[in-house]
Amino acid sequence: MHAGTGMPGTPEDPTTSAPDADGTVVLGASDVARALTRIAHEIVERAKGAQDVVLLGIPTRGVTLAARLAERLAAIDPDFDPTRDVGELDVTMYRDDLRRQPTRAVGVTRLPAAGIEGKTVVLVDDVLYSGRTIRAALDAIGDLGRPRAVRLAALVDRGHRELPIRPDFVGKNLPTATSERVRVRLAEVDGEDAVLISGRSSGDAGEGRR
Amino acid sequence: MTTTYVLRGARPLGGEAADVVLADGIVHEITAPGAAGVPDGAVVVDAIDHVLLPGLVDLHTHLREPGREDAETVASGTRAAAAGGFTAVHAMANTSPVADTAGVVEQVWRLGRQAGWVDVHPVGAVTVGLGGDRLAELGAMADSPARVRVFSDDGRCVHDPILMRRALEYVKAFDGVVAQHAQEPRLTEGAQMNEGVVSAEIGLAGWPAVAEEAIIARDVLLAEHVGSRLHVCHLSTAGSVEIVRWAKGRGIDVTAEVTPHHLVLTDELARSYDPAFKVNPPLRTAADVEAVRAGLADGTIDIVATDHAPHTREDKDCEWGAAAFGMTGLETALSVVQQTMVDSGRLTWADVARVLSTTPARIGRVDAEHGRPIAVGEPANLTLVDPAARRTVDGAAQATASANTPFAGYELPGRVVATFLRGRATVLDGAPVERTDLAIEGAAR
Amino acid sequence: MKHLLSTADLSRDEAIGVLDTAAQMAATQSREIKKLPTLRGRTVVNLFFEDSTRTRISFETAAKRLSADVINFSAKGSSVSKGESLKDTALTLHAMGADAVVVRHWASGAPAQLAHAGWLDAAILNAGDGTHMHPTQALLDAYTIRRHLAGPGAPRGGAGDEGVGADLAGIRVAIVGDVLHSRVARANVRLLHTLGAEVTLVSPPTLLPVGVHTWPCRTSYDLDATLAGWQPDAVMMLRVQRERMSGGSGAFFPSPLEYTRYFGLDARRLALLGDHAIVMHPGPMNRGLEISAEAADSDRAVIVEQVANGVAVRMAALYLLLSGTTEGISL
């Protein structure tokens, strides 16, 4: 509109950058698949069945992961419908860092038709880091209804929490330095399944923030 | 008693270099460059490569006094005039009270004499209070010590055709001229800027060219019918140029002026909504700018007049729709003419002397003193210009009391180095020379 | 996005971005809890130099739904009777720490002056200036058109839910009435063109501006021919100001009756349109003058929906102006 303007698009997300030759693969495709299968079993076990479970993916890769988990849940428990019981939760308008970032595009929030009232909501995200995204997600859920319980599933927990939040289901705990960068790549979005870590030797500016 | 000045190596009217010696209020001697002797106490002005012009004469200045001394006074406005190279200005009548009586014009004239920067020639209002209803006492103003010869309701148009006819006829008795502000009032109600592509886009009420042209067309025909002379103020459109050209071809006694700003600025500037560009008549299109330049070059337009219109900051620091019309111009006029007409090769410096001095002096009937040839024995009303200088305009730094220049931040060519009024330097080394000899000047008269 | 002053400043992608954001905002407005915490702690000032209760309420609702603090500042005054100057008002708002100023002003360009004069550093949102621009009205109009005509199953559509992501390519919009004095028309012509729609302005010649030939649209003096021959997908009726008819010799048309006869939308003219076509009006309507009751109340009319969409679009505009870092925004 005027000098220095810019409309929102997807802000540069460290996990979406092009493949980095320097990145070390810490999880390969089969590791990712195994982790998701394990998480699916844990969810069913913890909820004693999957009939009241609702998966809510947090964009972008959390949505993809939620869809994959849904297939696995359905395979374990036929009561779970992988199209009906999955949604996506955009937390942009609940973030506490809006004024520190370029304007973010507001994403879609889509809930199962039956809503989340009384359900066991499992939030699905790719990398768990500071916990601030999950804080925003909890606030967003609070405005959408009153689930019986909210759980958290993350493919990678890289530590460095800034809030009293911990995951219920983790694919892989990945001790990192804040200067390091963790990227989750998924076939649906990035053409391959992998978790990479980079910046291990050189002191990167703290990226991989979530 | 007055200082003798030796202008060393000046180029009169931009021609061959010469030494010009000013003494006793007149041009005392003109010699080959370097040849003039320097009498005791004389001041030598290095004028090499500087152009020497007859002192500039503005036929259209708003000095705002009486009534709006917060925007300009006779003293501040004439100081600005001297800084701009002028030795005479015609002060417009739209003051408060209006200059429609002998008393007001005489007051303005005396204020000018006291200030001493330039000769102030008051313009008399055509109608009482600029009301457009009945003639002011034109004869009384002509007979006053101010010897008014130019009459104008400037700011308003004498739109009633019968009243305009009467005014044109009446002023013949004392060789006066009616200077018409050509603006059809009904066509310009609420108008804010030139009507055209830009006004349509930015949503400001349009001011059609025809509102100016229709009045000029009517007035030249009236002037022809009654055998009067007519002066057209601040002509701004291509159509107006055409009409004046046609009228002159017919032998009608019409003269026309263009302002410096209409020689260079266009209505595109209104897109900023900066009221610095709000002026009456409005800035027109690039085609109009080219037409008035061509008209000035071919003599259809006789003179450049500033329409110097100072306004206080509060009258300009507001919404466009609420802002006052007008721009200052005395201190930028010569530079704008140089840039648009001389540097482009369309006018010579001799032509500049004609359009900014000789002809306006003749129209205003002050040509016994002003707009004279640069010759021995003539009154030493002169302006020395350095055409190679460049300067960046800063409204706050100008001599005028108001800062509403549309050229703020522009780099313009040319600089007035010195101005002489009857041999006395009102500007020297580019700076106004404060006067210390008021009593002497007064006594000399 | 630092200010929203004119739809002429919006690129196609920016405009679609606003509409898409508005769609997400609209989605939140069907929830039981409509309030979002997004702009908590930010202060939005509604600065109205001209009365417009409906526009003010729409902005106020939008700001409050995003949890901003809202201050309503009515600074009436005209060019004739000036109140506090625009500059002093701006300095006051600056001192009060306004983050965004929503400005409605009788003078064209006043929001641009507020944005550029250096009096305050808040984001300026033009809520209608003189006869210049009304960008959020045009955005809500485009949003409404997109919802109806560019969404899935729509006659010209095929995009996602509610037309998200889509432009208005090929959609025909007739804008009918007093174009000369209309900021709504100016804002819409620019925005609809940017979004790929085709626009025809239908107006008596007296109410089209000189210079309109340079606008990216067609013009017509004949409403019947435009409706029947051009088959617009949306017809936008402009409000006719009563004072335009009563200027004596300066009136823009002979009588209200004649205006209605040639430029009013009634049931007969409505029947000339395709079944999918929608009828719009920025409000408030002069029923019986530019639009008949049958047309205004027909199932083609989306006039009430425009009001609801106005809140979502204004939420989007406020979000986009206030949520990011204030300098150096890039994508």
Question: Are chains C and A in touch, 3+ Cβ pairs below 8 Å?
Answer: yes
Nearest CA to CA, how far is A97 from chain C (Å)? 9
C27 and chain A: CB distance < 8 Å anywhere? Answer: yes
Domain presence at residue B372: no
pLDDT of amino acid B315? 93
User: Region A184-191: what's the mean pLDDT?
Assistant: 92
Which residue ranges in chain C fall short of pLDDT 70? 77-83, 151-161, 246-247, 326-331
Residue B319 and residue B424 share a domain? no
Domain that holds residue B75: 55-363
Question: Are chains C and B in touch, 3+ Cβ pairs below 8 Å?
Answer: yes
Choose among A163, A200, A186, A199: nearest CA to A31. Answer: A186
Between chains, do C86 and B198 touch, taking CB under 8 Å as contact? no
Q: Are C239 and C284 in contact (CB under 8 A)?
A: yes
- Each residue of C231-258: pLDDT tens digit? 999 999 999 987 777 667 789 999 999 9
Residue B386, beta-bridge partner list: B415
Find the DSSP H helices in chain C: 12-28, 53-65, 86-95, 110-116, 135-149, 183-194, 223-225, 256-263, 267-270, 293-297, 303-322
Domain presence at residue B279: yes
Between chains, do C209 and B206 touch, taking CB under 8 Å as contact? yes
Domain presence at residue B332: yes
Neighbours of C140 (CB within 10 A): 28
User: Region B322-336: what's the mean pLDDT?
Assistant: 97
pLDDT of amino acid B419? 98
Q: Point out the residue among C27, C31, C323 whose CB comes nearest to the CB of A103.
A: C323
Q: Point out the residue among B195, B317, B320 whose CB comes nearest to the CB of C108.
A: B320
Between chains, do C107 and B186 touch, taking CB under 8 Å as contact? no
Report the catalytic residues of B.
307
Among residues of chain A, what percentage have pLDDT more than 90? 74
Choose among A195, A187, A117, A111: nearest CA to A154. Answer: A195
- Each residue of A116-125: pLDDT tens digit? 999 999 999 9
Total count of domains within chain B = 2
Domain range summary for chain A, segments of one domain joined by +: 23-198
Question: Are chains B and A in touch, 3+ Cβ pairs below 8 Å?
Answer: no
Domain presence at residue B405: no
ipTM of the complex: 0.91
Domain presence at residue B403: no
Which residue in the block uniquely carries the two structure tokens 């199953």? C153
pLDDT of amino acid C198? 98
pLDDT of amino acid C327? 47
CA distance B83 to B398: 9
Residue B249 and residue B122 share a domain? yes
Please, is B230 exposed, middle or buried when counting C-beta atoms within 10 Å of its C-beta (0-12, 13-18, 19+)?
Answer: buried
- Each residue of B353-407: pLDDT tens digit? 999 999 999 999 999 999 999 999 999 999 999 999 999 999 999 999 999 999 9
- Each residue of B220-253: pLDDT tens digit? 999 999 999 999 999 999 999 999 999 999 999 9
pLDDT of amino acid B72? 98
Residue B416 and residue B279 share a domain? no
Band of the pLDDT at B12, cuts 50, 70, 90?
very high
Q: Are B380 and B422 in contact (CB under 8 A)?
A: yes
Residues of C near B (CB-CB distance < 8 A)? 8, 79, 82, 85-87, 105-110, 112-113, 116, 129-133, 183, 186, 209-212, 214-215, 249-250
CA distance B299 to B302: 6
Choose among C159, C125, C167: nearest CA to C142. Answer: C167
CA distance A15 to A26: 14
Check whether domain A23-198 has CATH 3.90.79.10, yes or no = no
Q: CATH 3.40.50.1370: which residues of chain C?
A: 7-133+308-322, 135-306
C249 and chain A: CB distance < 8 Å anywhere? Answer: no
Q: Point out the residue among B186, B189, B273 whose CB comes nearest to the CB of C112.
A: B273
Q: What CATH number should be reported for the domain holding residue B89?
A: 3.20.20.140
Domain presence at residue B63: yes
Mean of per-residue pLDDT scores for chain B: 96
Domain presence at residue B145: yes
Q: What CATH number should be reported for the domain holding residue B9?
A: 2.30.40.10
Between chains, do C17 and A90 touch, taking CB under 8 Å as contact? no
CA distance A188 to A61: 9
User: Region B73-93: what's the mean pLDDT?
Assistant: 98
Phi, psi of A68 (to 5 degrees): -70, -40
Instruction: Please name the residues between 141 and 170 in chain A that touch chain C, using a CB distance below 8 Å.
Output: 143-144
Is the per-residue pLDDT at B108 higher than 50?
A: yes
pLDDT of amino acid C249? 79
**One-letter amino acid identity for B227?**
G
User: Region B327-335: what's the mean pLDDT?
Assistant: 98
Between chains, do B200 and C212 touch, taking CB under 8 Å as contact? yes
Residue B203 and residue B115 share a domain? yes
Which strand ranges, in their side-by-side order, compose the sheet holding B56-61?
B56-61, B86-91, B119-122
Binding-site residues from annotation of C for L-aspartate? 82, 183, 239
Most B-contacting residue of C113, C178, C186 (CB-CB within 10 A), to test interface: C113
Choose among B130, B121, B133, B122: nearest CA to B166. Answer: B133
C156 and chain A: CB distance < 8 Å anywhere? Answer: no
Pairing of strands C43-48, C69-74: parallel
**Contacts of residue C183 in chain B, CB cutoff 8 Å?**
203
- E strand or H helix that includes residue A54: strand A53-57
B63 is annotated as contributing to ligand binding: yes
pLDDT of amino acid C227? 98
Between chains, do C85 and B199 touch, taking CB under 8 Å as contact? no
Domain presence at residue B314: yes
Is the per-residue pLDDT at B290 higher than 90?
A: yes
Check whether domain C135-306 has CATH 3.40.50.1370, yes or no = yes
Q: Are B28 and B56 in contact (CB under 8 A)?
A: no
**Contacts of residue A98 in chain C, CB cutoff 8 Å?**
38, 323-324
CA distance A145 to B341: 76
**Contacts of residue A90 in chain C, CB cutoff 8 Å?**
24
User: Region B80-104: what's the mean pLDDT?
Assistant: 98
Residue B291 and residue B312 share a domain? yes
pLDDT of amino acid B299? 98
pLDDT of amino acid B214? 98
pLDDT of amino acid B1? 55
Give the torsion sign (CA, B337, B340, B343, B346). negative
Q: Point out the residue among C13, C27, C329 whose CB comes nearest to the CB of A102.
A: C329
Between chains, do B206 and C210 touch, taking CB under 8 Å as contact? yes
Among residues of chain B, what percentage have pLDDT more than 90? 97
Nearest-Cα residue of chain C relative to residue B271: C109
Nearest-Cα residue of chain C relative to residue A115: C31
Residue B311 and residue B165 share a domain? yes
Lowest mean pLDDT among B55-69, B185-199, B300-314, C62-76: C62-76
**Contacts of residue C104 in chain B, CB cutoff 8 Å?**
none
Nearest-Cα residue of chain A relative to residue C16: A7
Residue B22 and residue B157 share a domain? no
CATH superfamily, region C7-133+308-322:
Aspartate/ornithine carbamoyltransferase (3.40.50.1370)
pLDDT of amino acid C243? 73
